[in-house]
Amino acid sequence: MIDYLLVFLGGAIPWLEIALVIPFGIITGLNPAIVILVGFLGNMLTLLALIIGFEKVKEWWSGKDGDKNSKRQQRARVMWNKYGLPGMIMLGPIFIGSHIAAFIGMTLGATRSATILWSVISVGGWSLAIGILTALGFDFFT
């Protein structure tokens, strides 16, 4: 039980997220279906909190020094300009992190509902893909 709680917490932490905790949970022998679900829920919990509390987070973020042109923000802006909100949110979990993708999308004018919708699709899809591929690959090598 504590192992699944750790997967949930790892999924909730930006930069760890689903791309790391789901494979790790599966490789350590946990049930892949539960790991996928728990990792997804952990990631979505903090994403929803970020999206709903966006204005407060934006005020906090703008008070930080030196983060205006970070590499992640630059990648997010390129994705936004090239693919719009759906593309940036879909690529976010792998390239810049789902939290940063959602935050920058909202900063650039995306609505809460669109950001939530694309985040659920993205994190859900990536959770399934990462989990299934890890489980199949792990079975292949064992």
Domain total in the chain: 1
**How far is C-alpha 124 from the geometric centre of its chain's CA atoms?**
9
pTM confidence score: 0.81
How high is the pLDDT of residue 92? 87
List, for residues 56-80, the tens digit of each pLDDT value.
777 776 666 555 567 777 777 777 7
Predicted confidence at residue 142, as pLDDT, reads 52
Q: Which pLDDT score is estimated for 76?
A: 75
Alpha helix stretches (DSSP H) within 13-111: 17-27, 32-52, 54-62, 71-95, 98-107
* DSSP reduced 3-state for 133: helix
Q: What are phi and psi of 68, to 5 degrees?
A: -65, -30
pLDDT in tens, 13-35: 987 889 999 999 999 999 999 99
**Average pLDDT for 83-97:** 89
Domain that holds residue 24: 2-141
